Amino acid sequence: MDTPSGVRDIRDAVVAGRMSAVDICRQTLDRIATLNPPLNAFRGVAPERALARAAELDAQRDRSPLPLFGVPVAIKDNICTRGLATTASSRMLDGYVPPYDATVVERLEAAGAVIVGKTNCDEFAMGSSTENSAFGPTRNPWALDRIPGGSSGGSAAAVAARMVPMALGSDTGGSIRQPAALCGVVGFKPSYGRVSRYGLIAFASSLDQIGPIATTVADAALVMNVLAGADPRDSTASAAPVPDFAHALDEPRDGLRGVRIGVPRHLFSDGVEDAVLSAFEAALAVTRDRGAEVVDVALPYSPQAIPVYYIVATAEASSNLARYDGVRYGHRAGQAHTPAEMYERSRGEGFGREVKRRIILGTYVLSAGYYDAYYRQAQQVRTLIREDYDKALAGVDVIAMPTSPTAAFKLGERTDDPVQMYLSDVFTVGANLAGLPAVTVPCGFTGSRLPIGLQLTGRAMDDATVLRIADDYERATPWSNERPPRPAASASR
């Protein structure tokens, strides 16, 4: 059991020659073969490709400069991988093999990472439970009758079960942070523009960001060093200089002395589970012990964040998903006599319920007669929400909130009530609407041992400060070391 399990540990072990990349890869594939069946975290595993890549790395002489040398990673199935099926967990893209790599995939491989497979998610990243996958739900490693969160539920479950030390997720309204919190791991949504979105299957382009899910903040920071930066193929990827996120964590400092943390307590009135609130308060107490000053802040327009989000995100989705027309890729219905009939039936057959619901809602709020009342009004309230965050963050370094109002809920519990499901995102959508960096870090458990996450949101393009404060908190607490129970071989379903 002395096998290294974190990103840095594995990388250092391979670079030092204590283990080969192939050994690490084999162990990873074995763990996936054992642990994945009850969880369904993976949509697809690519053992030959991974082992070939690992062997290639082992044959390399000069390996020290590569920051992820030999590290096995998983990629959410809405991020394109050349030659490896990418479906966004939709029937629409069943069997689709992209002819190109997403920029983040290129960067990971260039840094020495070994891609072992694609992880399950809500269809087209639309959902908060991974129950909207066309290929069956993922289950939470801490309790198999519960959801792992979503939409990056497969990535979070794969990391929580230690199948891989890092998996990429995408976050449009909380889809990295909420599942990471519900699975007891670290999830980071970078500032909008910090990481290229080229090759991410688009959901809502003004909100989508790719980011890492890992077991520690330090590992997430290490991966951010690889992911961040400008990209000529994504005009929204910022050319701002990329700091050394990992190194920033190691700079000597006196705990959290001088750090100001803002808490918008007025948002915690209803719907927040008691165990979540008490874990959150205990986390704040730790930051105070570390020297931080904790003050109240107000985000007066934040109660509007969920409706604003669901109008903006569905409007953008209805436009982005127009490309699935059965012509260039994806599902095509048989026996259509006209192009229009082909479009309508291909889309009717290829998309699942939640995707259809959002296309209808998004088309409606953009349609003549409703545009001003819904879409334009939502964009204006979005401005007010951004200004809220700007004002609050002028006086504090980060804003602290629970990541999710509840711990993991049971499969099927919220599938019939879309509004109830949407409320899972109440604390996470603000960072997307305002384009801010936000991290979730484990901060405790409920009475029935379900993980709880602490969310820290920072100033735009100040990702390093968010990671630094989360890292200090994490090192002062035991939570990131906790692992889910390993299911007995016969106990699954």
Partner 1 sequence: MTDRFSRADVARVARLARLELNAEEQDLFARQLAGILAYAEQIQRVPTEGIEPTSHAGDAAMLRDDEVRPSLPREASLAAAPDGDTAAGLFKVPRVLG
Give catalytic residues, as residue numbers.
76, 151, 175
Angle (CA) 212-170-156 rounded to 5° is 55
First to last CA, the chain: 27
Minimum gap (Å) between residue 176 Cβ and partner 1: 16
Q: Using the minimum distance from each CB to partner 1, give the nearer residue, 86 or 120.
A: 86
Compute φ and ψ for 407, nearest 5 degrees. Answer: -75, 180
CA dist 43 and 22 (Å) reads 22
Is the dihedral angle over the CA atoms 467, 468, 471, 477 positive or is it negative? negative
Q: Using the minimum distance from each CB to partner 1, give the nearer residue, 14 or 439.
A: 439
CA dist 229 and 233 (Å) reads 12
Minimum gap (Å) between residue 374 Cβ and partner 1: 7
| Structure tokens given for 336 | 């259509």
CA dist 32 and 72 (Å) reads 11
Q: Using the minimum distance from each CB to partner 1, give the nearer residue, 64 or 235.
A: 235
Minimum gap (Å) between residue 190 Cβ and partner 1: 11
Minimum gap (Å) between residue 437 Cβ and partner 1: 11
Q: Using the minimum distance from each CB to partner 1, give the nearer residue, 142 or 351.
A: 351
Q: Using the minimum distance from each CB to partner 1, give the nearer residue, 184 or 430.
A: 430
Q: Using the minimum distance from each CB to partner 1, give the nearer residue, 152 or 318.
A: 318
